Structure 1
Amino acid sequence: MRTFLLVTAFCLPMVAWSLPSHQEVRSSYSSSETHVLSREGEVLQRLRTDKQVRRGQWVALRDVSPALRLALLVSEDQRFYAHSGVDWRAVSAAAWGNLWNSKTRGASTITMQLAGLLDEDWRASNSGRGVGQKLGQALAATQLERRWRKDQILEAYLNLLPFRGELVGIDALSRTLFGKAAHGLDEVESSIAAALVRGPNASVSVVAQRACGVWQELVQSQMQPSGADCTAVQWRTEQSLRARLWPASEGIAPHWAQRVWNARNPDAAIPAKGIKTTISAPVQRLAVESLQRHLRELQGRNVEDGAAVVLDNESGEVLAWVGSSGTLSQASEVDGVLAWRQPGSTLKPFLYAQALDERRLTAASLLNDSSAQIATASGLYIPQNYDRRFKGWVSVRMALAASLNVPAVRTLVMVTPDAFFHQLRQLGMPLREGAGYYGYSLALGSAEVPLLHLTNAYRALANGGRFSAVAASVRSPKGRAEFVQVLSPQAAFIVGDILSDAQARSTTFGLDSVLGTRFWTAVKTGTSKDMRDNWAVGWSQRYTVGVWVGNASGQAMHSVSGSSGAAPIWADIMVGLNARTPSRAPAVAPGLVQQKVDFLATTPGHTLEPARLEWFMAGTQQAQFHEPASIKTADAVSAKARIESPTHGTILALDPDIPPQRQKLQLTANRSDVRWYMAGTLLGQGRQVQWQPWPGRHVLQLRDMKGQLLDEAALEVRGAAVKPAQRGS
């Protein structure tokens, strides 16, 4: 005894110095789960981020069910509130049992077990604990009892205790095996949890037997009739130990949470409450519910996937990110906000904005919606409208609002695929191929782009042609977005005015279209080839919303267009966003004038479109627009002279087996009072000129009769020197 006292006197100061406080243990505890929070502080998603163990949140003792606390004391330490760390009565009973080889309850108290959890030096190994370890554990338990309250000891024990497999702590155990929080465990569940303390990885039958014993003691402690049947306990044990009721991720923003986690700084500490982000919880719920509700209405049309994103116009912050339709999808892990899909007609607003900026067109300019055959390097490109019909001569306003394909392709011929491709890249669209790969089909959205980047490009239109990248996912108190002027404010305003014009879009969508809202919005729909992708993207005064509907597998939908698939979802989200926030039309951009215009057809008394007030960039306005066929001279000297063929960036290949005189290229302009030059040499005069090409890179120039440059186009001729013509060929 004297030796024990001496060892105790020597070791106690060391043990006391090494033991942490309850607050230190609580502060150092880390869950295997990370909470991704909304801008309001609400939990959007719980995400498992520790793959080694499974820990839940720290559970205060007051939040543990009374049944579990009692079951733990009955099973592990019946005199917990009576001893001071070491239960000497239990130690004596254990020693006596060992002497007579009889089985008794272990002498290790809850406090001693906690000491082993706090310091591995006192933790039992596979071969058991030595005398020194047992003594150290007893001393540590004594010191814990002196420095900690009983409730703190029991609370820490419940949170640090390893349970079955990878589960650590009562929160992880109760959620995984029973699908509920620790405060909801009943007597049977509490008995199973207590039984797992002694043998976390024991067989089901052994755990069931121990749980039965604990449950019977619980019944007896509450003065209930003894002899209770354990059949229900055994059945429940078998069911619970097979259960995995705690998914790795849970919430309303799974794809967003994964994006936030991947974008984090690995060296930065994760706040205990979670990572606060830009998402608004009410807006996220609005987008999720709208997407799922409308997709259920489309069941039977072979469509199961969708995505939606909401951006704040001013800051560029993401307010909602819905990557999939959830349980409605067979590929819910695929993030539709970042998936590469064909945007269809949703690229047209940027094309017309560029044509307006270059002053090739005005909103009232007439375009020919008729059958077109455009020569390309791979053959003839013959665009078609969605309804396979042609409208004849239409204004730019109607062509864009009604989403006519052929006028868009004719506009791209003016702008050129290279120039349009460059502008799309400036608007943040990460196109995978070069302009030559897409050709004229780029006007109809043949290039694949993610919904996020497309929506952010529309946000540039909402901001008067100013582009900025989407803001970082984590909320930051730093300044506003940094904008770059990509399109002029005037072109952005006119395009927005067209996309908000219900009358102009009525040719295709009707006057009662779902796209029409009670407040100001501008919107464009799109459908890709074979109805594989369906889009609706647009903005109000404060928000830009993008919606995609389709199938992650790439399968075609059945009779689902932009107005029936994505548009109702877009409109639903917009109505919810602006329920309490009015949306007003943007202020008129400086440098714009409004002019009354008339549209005159070749047939007397017939009008192409009703007269209206139209917006023009200053200097481009005119009062009348005539159907070009009514002007027989077709030169329209007042029109800006331009090269119609070849287009800028054309690449020609010479065939050495064809005589040179058979390989002449026809140069075509839109006027006849012009001259053609190349490298300072006059090639000819008039609307059409024949030119004998030779290998190299050339710049073709169009000049007026005074020598002033009107237009130019770069082209490249490839191929070896041609063979001389053979006799008889």
Structure 2
Amino acid sequence: MSDSGRRKRPLVADRRYPKTAKKKSPASSKKAAARKPVRKSARKSARRRNPVVALFLAIIGFFWRILWGFAWRVGAVTALLIALAVGYVYATLPELNEVLDGRQRGSVTLLDANGQSFAWRGDQFGGVVTADTVSPHLRNAVVAIEDKRFYRHFGVSPRGIASAIRINLREGRGPFSGHGGSTITQQTAKLMCLGVEYDPDQWESEAAYEADCRRGSLARKAKEAIYALAMEAKYSKSEILTIYLNRAYMGGGAFGAEAAAQRFFGKTAGQLTPAEGAMLAGLLTAPTSLAPTNNLERSQSRAALVVGLMREQGYLTEAEANEALRNPAELSEAAEAQAGGYFADWVMSSGPEFFTRNTTEDVIIGTTLDPRIQTAAEEAMKYIFENKVREGSKAQAAIVVMSADGAVRAMVGGRKTKVVGAFNRATQALRQTGSAFKPFVYAAALDMGYSASDVIEDGPYCINVPGSGEWCPQNYDRQYHGRVTLAEALRTSLNIPAVKVAQSVGLEMVRKVASDFGIDSDLALGPALALGASESTLIEMTGAYAGILNGGSAVTPYGLVDLRMQGESEPVMTATGGIGERVIQEDAARELTWMMHKVVAEGTGRRAALPDRPVAGKTGTTQAARDAWFIGFSADYVAGVWMGYDDNTPLTGVTGSGLPAEIWHETMVRVHEGLPPRDLPMQPPGGNSIFSEGQNQRDRDTQSGIESLLESIFGGGRVQPGQAPTAESQR
């Protein structure tokens, strides 16, 4: 029987397990019933939404998805690039001990004759300190004023940057002009110039290099941030602060905390008090203008602000803060005095350039400066200008004090004594010497056998100068004094006898004696040489007088005693100055000293006389009183004084016998305080002169011969009564 007509059963596998109906609980039924109407209501609400709003929301959603997708991808790439940059910088960062001294130049520390520091030049670096070895007051002060979140951030402070931008905009500047919001780590990165070292071949100067390191552009800030992040990864917080405390410039030529502590307070960085630590921390913002050696009051005011921040941030108790405010930091005695600035500049300029002005090493120079004598000279200058010079006068003066061997003990190059790099009138000003030159005329004569008691005619006298015509010198008082001795002529500073003596011994001989005594400037060729028509510096003239005191031997003024590298005991070089070759015989020098003693005791230099000991010297006043001099010596020291205007304006009522002699007197009174009186190394002329009775026949014959010679040479010179002299007399 066929089954084709019958419906076949579908070929479906039987269920292994019978399907069981899941019985719903009443609660589930209720929840389902409750959800169903809500979903239906939402669909109805969506269908009822405004199509414009829906389109707008859809567009916003579309762009948000694009923006978000772009942002997180850019962010991821940026983060990766920053990480790579930080990693690269991290790999190039040097070890800690290689970055602590960041100076481009070395330093020069000058010691006085007692071995004490009195001046500093170059970039001072007192030695390496760490954040743990400096005074905690300094460490806390730096954090309080520069970066109070230093121990909490990762090298960059977004909050600090945002605050700085807001302040800059509020003050009308660009967002990155003015306040930078930099952390200590970022400042340290800038001090390291982001790893770029100074290359003389690449940069025009160190100033150009440093200016590039301080640039504040946006790109530079970004590099600075990356460098700071790398530093945070490489170094600990303590190490970063150590680098900062060693490399930061703190004014006064001091780089680093140790140099600043020694420079301003004469102590190490580990000994600083809260007030001193606050003052150094306050310098970091503007080290040059805030330096206590420039303006102590301003520096103390800044320190008071730092003390307040330290109190607010818990680094100082209320009592400690009040104590620091009541007793602000003061400069050390050496720093406050700022003595010997002119002297230090002179020593620096006279030493080898590669050990002084352009040294790359730390150098210690021992000098001849005596701080007591330096103070005496400065006080004398101040006293005279405050009490004897009219208020508002622009007149200047200079003082040099030295020993008989040329060792300079004090130097004042102008009325302002606390200076660095100023024009030094003691060493740089070439001025006519006037009658202060006359001792060299008589030195040449005495060395050739003349005597102080020899007589010469002081009368009308003219010389025909080739190329210039007739020249008739005149005495200061426009009078003629007849027959006078050489001693009398020098004592009263007569011009005509000086010219006659110079002509007699020969102008070339006078030039040679003056040059051998150390006057290296160009000397006049004509007969006006005898009256000081040549120019010289005060230190040259004072050194030449020292040669007279020491018995007739030349001296080279010097201030450098020895020069050594810091940390070394053996000097690299020693003094190159001192006593040189003999210029005139000792007897001639002693007799000339006696003549110059008469100048002070009885002649034009009486205002310079000291009350307790004999001294010798000579006044000098140039044409139209443009320069006034007094140079002289005791048995212990030689001192020279110059006075005048920088622009050659004539002095009013001033000659060498006036204010210069008084400045010399005030200086030497102070210099000799506590020193026992000593006699001058002098001797009167061998025969009797007009100052004593009786004269042996040999001396009469010698004098008569010299008089005859002088009369035969110079007896014919005349001027007409009332004739105006062609050259003003000099005294």
Aligned to 2:65: none
CA distance in 2, matches of 1:393, 1:108: 85
Number of corresponding residues: 536
* Residues 434, 620 of structure 2: 8 Å contact kept: yes
Deviation, structure 1 residue 548: 0.5
Structure 1 residues 492 and 611: CA distance shift in structure 2, 3 A: same
Deviation, structure 1 residue 561: 1.9
CA distance in 2, matches of 1:477, 1:334: 24
Query: Are 1:525 and 2:616 matched, yes or no?
Result: no
Query: Are 1:70 and 2:144 matched, yes or no?
Result: yes
Deviation, structure 1 residue 545: 0.9
Deviation, structure 1 residue 569: 1.3
CA distance in 2, matches of 1:540, 1:93: 67
Structure 1 residues 270 and 578: CA distance shift in structure 2, 3 A: farther
2:540 maps to which of 434, 453, 467: 453
* Residues 102, 247 of structure 2: 8 Å contact kept: no
1:309 maps to which of 400, 414, 422: 400
Asked which structure has the greater CA Rg, the reply is 2
Aligned to 1:553: 647
CA distance in 1, matches of 2:343, 2:474: 38
2:662 maps to which of 542, 553, 568: 568
Deviation, structure 1 residue 221: 6.7
CA distance in 2, matches of 1:91, 1:325: 52
Deviation, structure 1 residue 452: 1.3
Give the alignment of 1:484-495 within 5 angstroms: 484-495=581-592
CA distance in 1, matches of 2:418, 2:651: 15
In the alignment, structure 1 segments of 5+ residues that lack a partner are 95-105, 192-213, 225-248, 600-608, 614-620, 629-635, 648-666, 670-729
CA distance in 2, matches of 1:465, 1:318: 18
Aligned to 2:47: none
CA distance in 1, matches of 2:522, 2:641: 22
Structure 1 residues 328 and 622: CA distance shift in structure 2, 3 A: farther
Deviation, structure 1 residue 167: 12
AA aligned opposite 1:341: R
* Residues 65, 183 of structure 1: 8 Å contact kept: no
1:370 maps to which of 459, 463, 474: 459
Aligned to 1:705: none
Structure 1 residues 406 and 26: CA distance shift in structure 2, 3 A: same
Structure 1 residues 168 and 571: CA distance shift in structure 2, 3 A: closer
Give the alignment of 1:344-383 within 5 angstroms: 344-359=434-449, 361-377=450-466, 378-383=468-473
1:462 maps to which of 549, 562, 565: 549
CA distance in 1, matches of 2:592, 2:316: 80
Deviation, structure 1 residue 179: 4.7
Deviation, structure 1 residue 111: 5.2
Aligned to 2:260: none
AA aligned opposite 2:548: L
Deviation, structure 1 residue 281: 2.4
Aligned to 2:219: 127
Deviation, structure 1 residue 291: 1.6
In the alignment, structure 2 segments of 5+ residues that lack a partner are 1-78, 162-179, 197-212, 257-280, 318-335, 563-572, 718-731
Question: Quick check: which one's helix share is greater?
Answer: 2
* Residues 318, 473 of structure 1: 8 Å contact kept: no
Aligned to 1:176: 288
2:114 maps to which of 25, 35, 40: 40
Aligned to 1:497: 594
* Residues 307, 337 of structure 1: 8 Å contact kept: no
Structure 1 residues 177 and 611: CA distance shift in structure 2, 3 A: same
Aligned to 1:255: 342
AA aligned opposite 1:365: D
Query: Are 1:385 and 2:475 matched, yes or no?
Result: yes
* Residues 368, 393 of structure 1: 8 Å contact kept: yes
* Residues 143, 150 of structure 2: 8 Å contact kept: no
* Residues 111, 144 of structure 1: 8 Å contact kept: no
Give the match's secondary structure for 1:70.
helix
CA distance in 2, matches of 1:281, 1:320: 8
Query: Are 1:21 and 2:104 matched, yes or no?
Result: no
Aligned to 2:518: 428
Of stretches 522-531 and 269-278 in structure 1, the one that deviates more from structure 2 is: 269-278
CA distance in 2, matches of 1:385, 1:39: 44
CA distance in 1, matches of 2:249, 2:394: 46
* Residues 321, 337 of structure 1: 8 Å contact kept: no
Give the alignment of 1:288-327 within 5 angstroms: 288-300=378-390, 304-314=395-405, 316-326=406-416
AA aligned opposite 1:310: V
Aligned to 1:687: none
Aligned to 1:585: 679
* Residues 509, 563 of structure 1: 8 Å contact kept: yes
Deviation, structure 1 residue 464: 1.0
CA distance in 2, matches of 1:308, 1:92: 58
Structure with larger RCO (C-alpha < 8 A, sep 6+): 2
Deviation, structure 1 residue 425: 2.0
CA distance in 2, matches of 1:291, 1:264: 28
Deviation string, structure 1 residues 267-321 (Cα, Å, up to 9, x no partner): 334664764433222222221221232123332396611111112212x222212
Aligned to 1:245: none
CA distance in 2, matches of 1:583, 1:40: 23
**C-alpha RMSD of the superposition:** 5.2
Query: Are 1:287 and 2:362 matched, yes or no?
Result: no
AA aligned opposite 2:557: V
CA distance in 2, matches of 1:415, 1:223: 80
Deviation, structure 1 residue 69: 2.9
Aligned to 1:414: 504
Structure 1 residues 433 and 34: CA distance shift in structure 2, 3 A: same
Query: Are 1:444 and 2:444 matched, yes or no?
Result: no
Deviation string, structure 1 residues 119-178 (Cα, Å, up to 9, x no partner): 8259998437889x9888656434422xxxx555434325546999x9998545354354
Deviation, structure 1 residue 500: 1.7
CA distance in 1, matches of 2:434, 2:182: 71
* Residues 452, 685 of structure 2: 8 Å contact kept: no
AA aligned opposite 1:577: V
Structure 1 residues 529 and 176: CA distance shift in structure 2, 3 A: same
Deviation string, structure 1 residues 224-246 (Cα, Å, up to 9, x no partner): 9xxxxxxxxxxxxxxxxxxxxxx
Deviation, structure 1 residue 409: 1.9
CA distance in 2, matches of 1:625, 1:576: 45
CA distance in 1, matches of 2:222, 2:692: 99
Deviation, structure 1 residue 484: 1.0
Give the TM-score taking structure 1 as reference length.
Answer: 0.60
* Residues 68, 187 of structure 1: 8 Å contact kept: no
CA distance in 1, matches of 2:316, 2:407: 61
Deviation, structure 1 residue 374: 3.4
Give the TM-score taking structure 2 as reference length.
Answer: 0.60
Give the match's secondary structure for 1:399.
helix
Query: Are 1:541 and 2:635 matched, yes or no?
Result: yes
CA distance in 2, matches of 1:67, 1:185: 14
Deviation string, structure 1 residues 667-696 (Cα, Å, up to 9, x no partner): 999xxxxxxxxxxxxxxxxxxxxxxxxxxx
* Residues 629, 660 of structure 2: 8 Å contact kept: yes
Deviation, structure 1 residue 489: 0.8
* Residues 643, 668 of structure 1: 8 Å contact kept: no
Give the match's secondary structure for 1:173.
coil
Deviation, structure 1 residue 364: 1.3
Aligned to 1:204: none
CA distance in 2, matches of 1:515, 1:450: 24
Give the match's secondary structure for 1:64.
helix
Of stretches 454-463 and 568-577 in structure 1, the one that deviates more from structure 2 is: 568-577
Question: Quick check: which one's strand share is greater?
Answer: 1
Aligned to 1:633: none
CA distance in 2, matches of 1:519, 1:16: 74
Aligned to 1:723: none
